[in-house]
Amino acid sequence: MTTAETSTDTPHIVICTTGGTITASTTPEGAVVAGDSDPATQAMLDELRAVLPEQIRVSARAVIDADSSTFGPAEWDLLVDAVADVLSDPGVSGVVVTHGTDTLEETAMALDLHHDDPRPVAITGAQRPADHPEADGPANLLDAVLLAADPVSRDLGVLVVLGRAILQARGVRKWHTTDPVAFARNSPEHPVEDLPPELERPTLPGRARFADTRVDVIACPPGADAVAVRASVDAGSRGLILEGSGSGNLPPLVADAVAQLADDRPDIVMVVSSRVPRGEATPAYGGRGGGAELANRGVLSSGYLRSGQARVLLAALLSVADQAPADDAAAAVATEIRRSWPKYHLYS
């Protein structure tokens, strides 16, 4: 990695590659395969340099080479470290991360929670493999590099760039399996003069280590029982993201187990989300399993975050809290996380 100073007139953008569909190829049988993408990555960079303005310089750093459906907490740790390391060079103007779309929303959240540098980080990918006759990766990468090189992108945090859409990381979600406009952002409408509070983007007070902190997402469809909740607790989960219905409501048997768990294990933090694609999860309804009753038990609501990003946030808060003085009891740590949760999730 270069350490040469780069002026604002000659921006240097570092592309961190992780594999994914943007460099994937298609087998004779029609299967799209990610990994072993060095030749495709080099071709992508050559094509990019051919169309970039001369004053923008790009270099690449391979971080991972795999399908993002295989990514998890260990890969989030690798990418947070890699981006921080790249930005330790003052000559770098911005970072682009190429990433598979399957788990891009989780990585974007993990990066954004740590990104307190004004320089932009853009995450991009593709819905069609590199050898597709209408591959969308090259245009997405060009857009991401141009965005990362533009001073207007400073102080906006991590940005998701696909299909000509530019979205802030918090609240973003993959909304379509094949459409080139792969992502949408779950957020309320705000007039220009009333900027949403999430633009402040509070970052973590320390470095989270995701691989050391287990948080499970549990689907809670109509009629579900408590088997999955108990299994996660028995497996050592520190937190549970409960994906309910409506604005964040749970089936009766799950609600009963959650109530019992709140009494018996106050050290386990529970957050209720919703299977509904858009809108806010709020403690609105009373009654057995209603969000308001859950809130009375200390269960948090995910707001405009959906399950994937809520999981990343909760794991990050638990991990950072673990680095506090050792005499902090687990139940006290959980209480502090419940208190600070609205500060970090979207639109508190």
Task: Give catalytic residues, as residue numbers.
Answer: 21
Q: How far apart are CA 253 and CA 288, in angstroms?
A: 9
Q: How many residues does the chain have?
A: 348
Closest of 138, 134, 149 to residue 48, by C-alpha: 138
Contact of 136 with 127, CB cutoff 8 Å: yes
Greatest C-alpha distance within the chain: 63
The 3-class secondary structure across 171-211, one letter per residue, is CEEECCCCCCCCEEECCCCCCCCCCCHHHHCCCCCCCCCHH
Strands 183-185 and 172-174: antiparallel
Closest of 13, 3, 96 to residue 53, by C-alpha: 13
